[in-house]
Structure 1
Amino acid sequence: MKYQARKKALILLADGTIFYGKSVGDKDGTAFGEVCFNTGMTGYQEIFTDPSYYGQLMVTTNAHIGNYGTNEDEVESESIKIAGLICRNFSYDYSRPAADASLQEFLDKNNLFAISDVDTRALVSYIRDHGAMNAVISTDVENVEGLKKQLAEVPSMEGLELASKVSAKKPYFFGDENATYKIAALDIGIKKNILRNLAKRDAYIKVFPYNASFLDMAAWNPDGYFISNGPGDPEPLTDAIETAKKMIATDKPVFGICLGHQVIALANGISTYKMHNGHRGINHPIINLLTGKGEITSQNHGFAINREETEANPDIEITHVHLNDQTVAGIRMKDKNVFSVQYHPEASPGPHDAEYLFDQFFEMIKSVDTVSVS
């Protein structure tokens, strides 16, 4: 396949700007979504299968993509979630003994359209300056006006509810049923490695769909509640926000990651907003205000919570701040066992600086259990 003539392709941004490249393989294709970029040098397979990226055209800033192949165990969900891939150099060959397929085979299996030979440095620089926006990638390079009309019909990510597109359709279990602790997880786009991190701390997890009622979750009598990451705008998730309010009212520990963090903030009357271009990568610096320590973190979000409203809320304390732009990266409730972060402590691959947050969650559970027993 790598020796066959590849087709000309383009990236058409919503503002009319065009970048050019070539199709991966010799396929024709067209894909729409919000264009965003990830700065990680590894982990492309995990990125492509992360439910938080649903509906997005992914630009990888690393110059070479595909050079270590793919492995069926290195996925964050059962299928690719990005809408399309944009890269500089696509590696058709791979050189890792642990790989079981090439990236091209993985993309073909999941029917994902990708383009390469793009000046990704120029494209990322443009997105940084002008912000995230909808775009289309296509081999239909002679039909720019037609693509513009189709692109105009693609809804904006702002106001878009996407959790229902990636959430489980019915409850399921993860881990050892004989584990010490029971965790009820609200799936609004949960990653497999989050479940692995909970399970390896002696927990049995029951995962509930995005619109599950609190009564259904509470009926399982869990020791704690978890609200997952996920895609889209958090504000349309009215069911999840109401469920979070009821979780908080129980006094049982509640832990939220990324979209879950935003849902917990909304449950406390703190609004969210769409960022200029979001945070996506595995080297984002965070300061833990409680310990004074810095953390290098994996991040993937295009929305954030309002800092002024957070600081003004008498029930909330800011625990973590992003050092690049001072956005809120973590909060906790002052009189409740509730906390959340705007990044991924389960990062794999990626830095493990923040993995202690899972331990903190279970320390909370143990503390509550001890109090209730005594």
Structure 2
Amino acid sequence: MLKVSSDMEDMFKTQETMFDDVLEDFSEIDYVKERFEKWKFTYGESYKDAYIGLCLPKLFTPLIRKELILWNPLDEACADFEDSHWFNCLVFLGYREGIEVDRTDDDLRTLPSITEKLILPKLTFLVENVWDPLSTTQTARLVNLTIKLTRDYPTIHAQSKNFRTYLEAVVARLKKTLDDDVFMPMYPLSVLDNRSSGPAVFFHRQSWSCIKLLGNILSWHQLISAPVLQKLALSGLLNRYIVIGLVSSHINREALHKCQTIISTFPKDWFTNLEGDSTIPQLENLCRYLVSAAKTLHKATALEKDNERLEGRELVKQISKHLVNIHAMDHAMSLANEFSFKIS
């Protein structure tokens, strides 16, 4: 912590002294903006002929980079970049009250261009070096900011090189987390019998950590293509760790709660256009586990008292609903036929 604090102090000092040897007229974004606006409003034709509007992003870049040195949107205390001084200074660049806005004015492209060329590379750096995909808070802030950028800035789209680089960095970071930071311990069932024992506590903590990571990965579903996301989340995490953990533990209410939480993370649009009665192939292992769990629960309660038998039947119906939610209609119908209930 002391080293981090020292590094932050050094960065702050660097930010404060970066333009100490530069005249104020050229080191403050307000003054630079004022000079170009004066040119534009006084000699509009020469301003336009010189294509100054196209040059402004590069001219402002060093000054904005300085202000972005300590900007970290992963930090809850970090302000939105749209609330920063440089953004508010440039948001009305080239606009003068009483004059109709010319939509072909190159000045209007300054902020979108800066956002693509400065904000995205900064986010890419943070993704590669700071972001913890296991943190739901950090992931949510990053996803929400990215969605906002794609919605509000026309320069940020699938064809943007900087945007593609950024998303590639996100995918690479998620892969690294799956390879380096995920671990699912395997214990005999007898070891897990005592829920409060050290091994059992560790097992369930790791299990829930994996499920949490699954939700974090799938929160990118509006931004990363389904095939890429399914390979990461389903092949790389669900089938590789989570289902194995479920199979090796007791079938009880906690296990079913885990399954419900897992299914709640899946994007609904994955299942809207599926043909036939089968779900997507990567979910077959989960489906088989759910069917096996239903049969085990039914068998365990079939000879018990009425209340316990009814409770077991309700759990089987609940499992059937989980299967319906992921469009595993073949498995859901199989349970309904075997245990004589209707799918609701």
| Global fold match (TM > 0.5) | no
| Structure number having the greater helix percentage | 2
**Structure 2-normalised TM-score?**
0.26
Query: Is the radius of gyration larger for structure 1 or structure 2?
Result: 2
**Structure 1-normalised TM-score?**
0.25
Higher RCO, 1 or 2 (CA under 8 Å, sep at least 6)? 1
